[in-house]
Structure 1
């Protein structure tokens, strides 16, 4: 149908080109348009645009997915903070063992406070 419309015109508009109709030029333009459309379709599939639009149309599913991802983030933050805190306490205990004069007393007080808090639980 597009080829028929282009054949009936003496002039056609191609991207950036206005010129007189030439026999092989419309096939090149149509092939170029077809390639661009295929490339656009592939890019849209890579972006998963259809899945995103489908998710936006179902607000309860969107809330469920966001709720689960929020729980996962919170759990990850809690575990990460616990591991980081344990590493810091371990490093402080090692520094106390070195018996550094000023730093050692300060760190010893911190370690005692942490151990007292852990012992209460």
Structure 2
């Protein structure tokens, strides 16, 4: 006598299928995706996006850092250019041109 349960060809509505022993390609892909999202701290990004106060503080801080960096960078570049131009003052043609520019600037002070 065979006591195994009868096999059905059609699933019963509401019945949960029994998973096979070996994961399918979709399950492996979903597992890799879940692991990748956990590593990338995606949850923190979503929380930051959904909380307007955190978003405002983050963007304000980033704007201050960009503005400060731009100001310092511009100051350094202009100082280097000023130093470089001052090296050419003793040259005959370029020195006269720079002297005229300096006199124009002095007139408007």
Q: TM-score, length-normalised on structure 2?
A: 0.66
Instruction: Report Cα offsets for 1:28-62 as digits up to 9, x if no partner.
Output: 5x242332112212332344321111012210111
Give the structure with the higher percent strand.
1
The aligned residue for residue 104 of structure 1 is 95
The aligned residue for residue 81 of structure 1 is 74
Please, which runs of 5 or more residues in structure 2 have no aligned partner?
1-6, 11-19
Give the structure with the higher percent helix.
1
Distance 1:110 1:48, change over 3 A: farther
Q: Structure 1: which 4+ aligned runs deviate by more than 4 Å?
A: 7-10, 111-114
C-alpha RMSD of matched pairs (Å): 2.8
Tell me how many residue pairs correspond in the alignment: 92
Deviation at 1:110, TM superposition (A): 3.7
Max Rg structure: 2
Please, which runs of 5 or more residues in structure 1 have no aligned partner?
1-6, 11-25
Answer yes or no: is the 8 Å Cα contact 1:92–1:111 preserved in 2: no
